[in-house]
Amino acid sequence: MTADLNLTDFIRRMQAGDRAAGDSVFSAAASRLRKMATGLMSRENTNGFHASDLVQETFAQKVSGGRLRTSIAGREHFFSLMAAGMRQILMDRGRVRSAAKRQTPPVEYLLGNLQPDSRLADLSLTLRKLEKLDPGGCRTIRMKYQQGLTWEEVAEATNRSVWQVRAECDYLLRWLRAQLL
């Protein structure tokens, strides 16, 4: 709990312009960020790209000159932002890899002349659709499956019981699968 309070304080200080707080945020969040990255990368062909590399690249994208590029509402929002950044980096790497398989220059691929990896793109679009229909449910899915939180952590963050969180996730996962088929 103390580490969580420190992280929240470091995030606030970093947003206020304290450049040294950026290093503190990274140090305080590194373990959880690596856990999230490992979870995301377990489903991907990463070819030598390690969880620490993903965490550092994402952090570098989101933090510029010791300041966050976007306003952060709190600790969970910070982790959601980092998880989204990690997913985007993995999707971009997948697009480049797919383009290389077809011997197509990656620049053309990234500019939209070719179709992206459909599974990741479809999932991303479906999650956006779910976010419009049920923002709270989408937040629950993201916390559990993208941030790698345990059932208990998700329940605590959403002020519900573990049973309610599991039931909602089961329902929403069935909905997502139906949308993707």
- 1-17 per-position pLDDT tens digit: 455 557 788 888 887 77
Cα 98 from Cα 117, distance rounded (Å): 7
Q: What is the pLDDT of residue 113?
A: 38
Alpha-carbon radius of gyration of the chain: 17
Cα 44 from Cα 110, distance rounded (Å): 19
Distances (CA, A) of 106 to 66, 90, 110: 31, 15, 6
Q: What is the pLDDT of residue 118?
A: 55
Cα 78 from Cα 68, distance rounded (Å): 10
Q: What is the pLDDT of residue 109?
A: 34
Residue 110, pLDDT above cutoff 70: no
Residue 100, pLDDT above cutoff 80: no
pTM of the entire structure? 0.53
Q: What is the pLDDT of residue 117?
A: 52
Average per-residue pLDDT for the chain? 76
Residue 54, pLDDT above cutoff 60: yes
Please tell me whether residue 46 adopts helix, strand or coil conformation. Answer: coil
